[in-house]
């Protein structure tokens, strides 16, 4: 398939596939930016991809601003939760724990049963651990695992709640 017959999404996926397993740098950012330019600065998905490239390149401050812009422009149901998760993670990397927690907790309420609920819980746990509340982070992680267990739901839920109090 030639470049001209590939969809925009396919070309974005191709850039990310090429970047997998290696450190993302200026080349990946440039390729994503070129594709994003095709859609313009008022396209939420293009801004999301630009943010992700910077995030992957270790530029969380740049990424957060672009994630905010993408959310403000309005992402679809597939990319909105990804954007929130990635933005919360970047905020954590910047040490902005309160904002990161607010963002991720809001996502937990919006999409409690969504396909990204485990990823949301993972980032929530990481934020708590990074902010000096590792027991609460462990509790969040354990509670996310409980539904996947074949048994012991009641006891593991109780233990997870008990562990959370260790940070108090």
Domain count, the chain: 1
Domain that holds residue 122: 8-132
> Does the residue 58 lie in any domain?
yes
CA–chain centroid gap for 29, Å, is: 18
67 inside domain: yes
The model's pTM is 0.91
- 77-116 residue pLDDT tens: 999 999 999 999 999 999 999 999 999 999 999 988 899 9
Residue 80 forms part of a structural domain: yes
CB atoms within 10 A of CB 66: 24
Question: Which CATH number is 100's domain given?
Answer: 1.25.40.10
Whether 165 is in a domain gets the answer: no
**Residue 52 lies inside a defined structural domain of this protein:** yes
Q: What distance in Å separates the CA atoms of residue 46 and residue 158, rounded to the nearest whole number?
A: 43
Which among 94, 87, 113 is positioned nearest to 104, based on CA atoms? Answer: 87
Q: Where does 57-147 have alpha helices with state H?
A: 60-73, 79-93, 97-110, 117-130, 134-145
Encode burial over 132-168: b for 16+ CB neighbours within 10 A, e otherwise. Answer: ebeebbbbbbbbbeeeeeeeeeeeebeebeebbeeee
pLDDT above 70: residue 157: yes
User: Percentage of residues in the chain with pLDDT exceeding 70?
Assistant: 98
Does some domain include residue 143? no
Residue 78 resides in a domain: yes
The whole-angstrom distance between residue 124's C-alpha and the CA centroid of its chain comes to 10
Within a domain: residue 146? no
């Amino acid at each position: 398939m030639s470049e001209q017959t590939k969809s925009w999404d396919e070309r974005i996926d191709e850039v990310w596939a090429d970047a997998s397993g290696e450190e993302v740098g200026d080349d990946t950012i440039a390729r994503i930016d070129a594709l994003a330019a095709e859609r313009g600065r008022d396209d939420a998905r293009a801004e999301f991809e630009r943010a992700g490239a910077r995030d992957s390149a270790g530029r969380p401050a740049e990424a957060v601003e672009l994630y905010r812009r993408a959310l403000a422009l309005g992402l679809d149901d597939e990319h909105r939760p990804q954007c929130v998760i990635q933005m919360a993670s970047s905020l954590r990397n910047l040490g902005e724990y309160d904002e990161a927690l607010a963002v991720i907790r809001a996502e937990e309420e919006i999409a409690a049963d969504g396909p990204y609920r485990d990823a949301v819980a993972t980032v929530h746990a990481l934020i708590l651990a990074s902010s000096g509340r590792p027991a609460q982070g462990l509790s969040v992680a354990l509670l996310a695992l409980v539904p996947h267990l074949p048994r012991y739901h009641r006891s593991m839920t109780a233990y997870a709640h008990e562990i959370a109090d260790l940070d108090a």
